Structures are given as C-alpha cells and as structure tokens.
Homo-oligomer: A and B are copies of this chain.
Amino acid sequence: MSTTLKFTALLLALSLCRGLRHDYIDNYIDNYIDEVTEEEAELVAQPSKYGSLWPLPQKVQLSEVSFKLTSSSFRIVDAKDSTAGPSCSLLQDAYRRYYEYMFGIAKRQQLNKGRRTGPSELTELQVWITSPDSECDSYPSLTSDESYELSVNQPYAVLKAPKVWGALHGLETFSQLVYEDEYGAKSINSTTISDFPRFAHRGILLDSSRHFLPIKVILANLETMAMNKINVFHWHIVDDQSFPYLSRTFPQLSQQGAYHPYTHVYTPADVKMVIEFARLRGIRVIPEFDTPGHTQSWGKGQPDLLTPCYSGSKPSGTFGPVNPILNTTYDFMSQFFKEISAVFPDAYVHLGGDEVDFTCWKSNPDIQKFMDQQGFGQDYSKLESFYIQKLLDIVTTTEKGYTIWQEVFDNGVKLKPDTLIHVWKGNQQQYQNEMANVTSSGYRTLLSTPWYLNRISYGQDWQGHYKADPQDFKGTEAQKKLVIGGEACLWGEYVDATNLTPRLWPRASAVAERLWSAKDVTDINDAFSRLSVHRCRMVDRGIPAEPLFSSYCPHEYKGI
C-alpha cells in the first residue's frame, strides 16, 4: 500500500460526515436502483422528501432554507421559561447524548463561546417544557404526554413539549434533521414539526431466559429503542429454561434456577440500572413473570411450587405447571409479587398465563381429587382459571395493573376492566378476530402476532411487519380506541448477545413506525428510503443494525 494513498484515505475518512448527507442518500438510492434491475426487487426507491426521519412525525413542514451548525458554537439549552431547569438531569444527559450523536465525541472539547456566528448559522436548540410539572423525576407511564413541537428557524430552534417525554422524542427528531452538505458542513433545513404517537404502548419484548442477555446488551437495545421512539421494554425475564432474576425474598430461585448463580443473574442493582437507563430515555420497563406454565426453572429453588407429575400411581420425578391446589403456592406468590411490585416502578406487570400444558395436572391424583371437590369435572381450563383468578387477586393488592397473554381471556377468566389483553396467536384472520372479540368485551389490547421477530426468513421481511396494522379488524370506533398499541417480540431460543442486536434492528424499526406514525403512512418505497438511511444512522451510533439490502454506509460497523 502506498503511504501517500493511505494518508489521503485517512484525511477523507476524517472529513466524512457522521450524520447524513443528501448526496449520500442519492448515492444510496442510485446504487439501489442499479440493483433492482438485476435482483427484481419490488421496491423502487427515491430519496424521501422526509429525508431520514424515522418514525415519520405526524406533521412535517420542511423548507429549502438551510442553516449551518458548528460543533464549537451549537448548544442545546433550557428555554428561559422551561419548567425543567439545570437540575433536570434527564434532560441534561439527553442534551449531551444528542450533541455527541450529531457532532461526535471527539469534538466536544472545542466549544468556543467567543466565536462570531455566521449569517446562516443555527446556534441553539432551546428546549422548553411547558407544563408546570415537567415529570423530570417521574417514570414514564401509559398515559404520559409524549407530544412535542419543533420549530427550526434562525437564530435558534425551539423544541416545545408539555413533559420531558415529548422533549426526548423531539431531540431525537432534531438529530435526524441534521445532515452534512456536499462539503461536509453540518446543516439543517428550516422545519416545523408537530408530533405525537398514534399508540401509547410501543414495546419490544426481550427474553433473558432462553439465553442470558448481558446487561450491556440490554442497555444497547434500550438506547436503540429510544432512537426509534419505542417506549416499553417488556422484559420476559424468566421462563422454563432459566431464572436469572435475583429475588431478595427468594434468592434460591436464581441460586438454583439461573444458568449460573453468579455470572448469569440480574442483581437488584442490575435491575435498578436497567430501569433508570430506560427512564432517562422515556422507556417503561414492564417485567413478565409468567405462570402457571413456563415455570420449570422456578421449581429448582422453590420446593413444592410445581405440580409433581405421575407415571401411573407414582411420582415420575418430573414437574408440571405451578401447583394450583396448595395454599403455600399462594403464600409464595403473594410475597413474590409484593417484591416485584416494589422493584419495578411501572404501574403494570405482565403475568403471562400462556401455553399451560394440562398433561401433568391430569396425571396427578391430588389434582384430580381437588378437581372433583371443586366440581370442575375434567375441564382443566377451569383449574387454570381458578389459579389465575387467585393470582390476579394477589397482584391487585399490590396496586399494579396487569397484562396477560390472550389465553387467559380466551379461557374466560374473570378480569378487572383495566386488564390489558396481549394478542399473540394465530394467522392474520385469527388475530384480527381475537382483537375484535377482546375489544367488543370492553378490554384494552396489545398486538404482537404479526411482530414475532424471532421468526426469520430470507429477504426483506420488514415489509410484512410494516404492513400489519393493529386497528385493521372489524369493530366500532370505540373498539379501535381500545387498541393501545403493540409489541415486537424477540423470543430467545435462537438469539443471545452474539446475534440479538442485528436481528432486532432495523426490523423492529418497521414496527416502531407503524405504532408511532399516522395510520396512512404506508408508502413502502418511501419507508425503504428513510429506513435505509435510519439504519446507517444506527450503525454510525455504534449499533450493529443489519442491512435491508445491498448497499453501504458512509461509516461501516466496526465490530466483527
């Protein structure tokens, strides 16, 4: 290699943008168009008039007038009348984070206050929290106001939001508006945006039981959720395979049930860190402790919790679902969920309730006797309901709301009116019928069926995820309003720290736009264009989001 050439390459690399260039978008699309001839891909993409905004805001007005930003002068500051001041570390942290996304870490020290600003320069983004309570020190919730208004104009841009949650989203949007012009100068066009989410609950389920997920992986994905305006981390923390949650009340659960009692557990400090990291990004953490099925790992540290299965007239040595006929079971659950309700601040906990296998219950003579006493006959779903109703009563005393998988509703368990029913089963017609049934019974619902991202196939499957709409079912307007959102699920059988992040992103971004943007945002070509560049932005921010199709990013991922 010629030394001269290498040096030149280095200089060029340093001068390349960290954000977006319009000519980069053009190149990207040109390359894509070259390919479609060969590959017969369905999409014909052109640079979107909305640049790389993702998810697309509700109202966007862009002008041709552009301003420059310099890392030495540009600042993100609290507006004079903002109800969140310098003591709001949630916002202060976010200012730093977005400054670094926009200008890179290396340049931070160069802040130059004395410099005269140029004529077409944008020097400030003023962040103005307008509500008396900024909620800076609160947790986000299902009813949080996430709206914001962004106005980019000289001499400064203004981001107005009733609460900090909207401000966080607005900062992300602002950073997405910044691009590099043909000379590499950071630029932004005069823009007015008014934005709010279509659905209040926009979640991602990660499963830390089939494979343990190191904290670092969870935090990186929370970071990425924020880039996609996802606001719920559904933490499927335990399951049959392992129990990594370190319970203060029942430490034996992870001592015996985790893959390893020290290296494969989430300590109370770990959990606290995840919750705070998420809060600082406007993300709720909803833990799932799924019972009475999916509990093999619970049984290792809690004797008598699971039903002993019988082989003929003798215990076989294996165990089935939680034993619903013992008082000790409910004593345990009371104490356990008391702890959970204290550890996890969110108003909701996910109680699971899916896929209860009756085989073991059927084999057990004590269970049969109990069934007789209760008059359940041979209907084991009545026993399941018996258990779930007692569990729901227990959780109700902790003053948490609860989410349950659809089977609990399907089996006719009596539910509180504010229960969230999580739909995950069936094909399109079946889940649409289920959404119709759940909402016609007056319950609020969440959809996941079309968004099982653990299921993979060759090609651009994000398009299918993008096209699914949670309100596409037969029902009244009132029913549609009971759909509070959805979740992309990445079950853990085939993913761990080695492959989780690229498998999730940008596929989950497709779900993120569906849940945030207006219902009529459905142009798949426009989405391809914006998502391609959004994906490169995630890569540039250090997230190994996988490619949509043949292409390149100005800055390729550096990992292996």
Contact = CB atoms under 8 A, between A and B. Distances in A.
Interface stretch (A4-12, A90-98, A481-489): A4-12
Interface stretch (A210-218, A227-235, A375-383, A516-524): A210-218
A385 to B, nearest CB: 22
Interface string A294-321: 1010000000000000000000001000
A34 B240 contact: yes
Contacts of A85: none
B547 A560 contact: no
Given A268-B1, A270-B1, A560-B217, A240 B499 contact: no
Given A216-B558, A216-B560, A544 B38 contact: no
B269 A560 contact: no
A395 B262 CA distance: 60
A545 interface: yes
A543 interface: yes
A498 B490 CA distance: 18
Nearest to A553: B496
A497 interface: yes
A412 interface: no
A457 B547 CA distance: 17
A184 interface: no
B497 A318 contact: no
A515 B216 CA distance: 37
A495 to B, nearest CB: 7
Given A5-B267, A35-B240, A498 B13 contact: no
Nearest to A39: B493
A422 B242 CA distance: 45
Given A318-B37, A546-B499, A560-B217, A552 B259 contact: yes
B498 A560 contact: no
A166 to B, nearest CB: 28
Counted per complex, copies of this chain come to 2
A549 B493 contact: yes
A296 B544 CA distance: 28
Interface in A261-283: 262-264, 267-270
Given A31-B241, A240-B34, A241-B34, A550 B493 contact: yes
B497 A556 contact: yes
Contacts of A212: 552, 556
A488 to B, nearest CB: 16
Contacts of A260: 552, 554
B259 A31 contact: yes
A291 to B, nearest CB: 15
A467 interface: no
Given A498-B559, A499-B502, A557-B498, A550 B492 contact: yes
Contacts of A544: 497-499, 560
A144 B494 CA distance: 38
Contacts of A77: none
B494 A262 contact: no
A72 interface: no
Contact of A497 (B459, B554, B558): B558
A88 interface: no
A75 interface: no
A560 B263 contact: no
Q: Kindly list the 4 A-B residue pairs having the minimum CB-CB distance in the complex, ordered from nearest.
A: A1-B269, A498-B544, A499-B502, A259-B552
10 contacts: A1-B270, A9-B262, A31-B242, A260-B552, A264-B552, A496-B556, A497-B558, A498-B547, A498-B557, A499-B546
Given A8-B262, A496-B547, 5 more contacts: A35-B240, A38-B240, A211-B551, A260-B554, A496-B546
